[in-house]
Amino acid sequence: MLDFLKGPAPLSPYEISFLNDRFRDGKHIPFSYFAGATPANNYTPSQPFTVTVFSNPYSFQNEGWATLHLNSGGADSPRQIKLRLKPSEGKWYLSEQMIMVGVRIPQKDDPWA
């Protein structure tokens, strides 16, 4: 899906390797962005599945670029995605993502829970 969202600039071999490592370390990371998913409920999202993407006053500082934010139930602060506008199509494409990074482990996997 991330490759599709990147549009005319597909994932690089480095990005693919990075994503493979993240899924090997914890398949729960993507689920942490769904509403209701937290370490306490082992990242089980509420239904219907929803993800909230939001901007802030600094999101559109540079023309043709946008930095948007997502909350993760396993992180203390919002994570960012950076989009780039392709003017010839009028579409925004993913340029960078900072969402596939570590989150707190699910309660079922926490030996101290």
Per-residue pLDDT of 11-62, as tens digits, reads: 889 888 888 887 776 678 889 999 999 999 999 999 999 999 999 999 999 9
Q: How many domains does the chain have?
A: 1
**Residue 113, in any domain of the structure:** no
pLDDT > 90? residue 98: no
What per-residue string of b and e applies to 33-69 under the rule 16 or more CB within 10 Å gives b?
bbeebbbeeebebeeeeeeeeeeeeeeeeeeeebbbb
pTM, entire model:
0.84
pLDDT > 80? residue 68: yes
**Residue 110, in any domain of the structure:** no
**Residue 111, in any domain of the structure:** no
Structural domain that includes position 68: 2-103
**Residue 108, in any domain of the structure:** no
Q: Give the C-alpha distances (Å, rounded to integers) separating 103 from 11, 72, 86.
A: 23, 8, 32
Using CA atoms, how far apart are residues 99 and 87, in angstroms rounded to an integer? 25
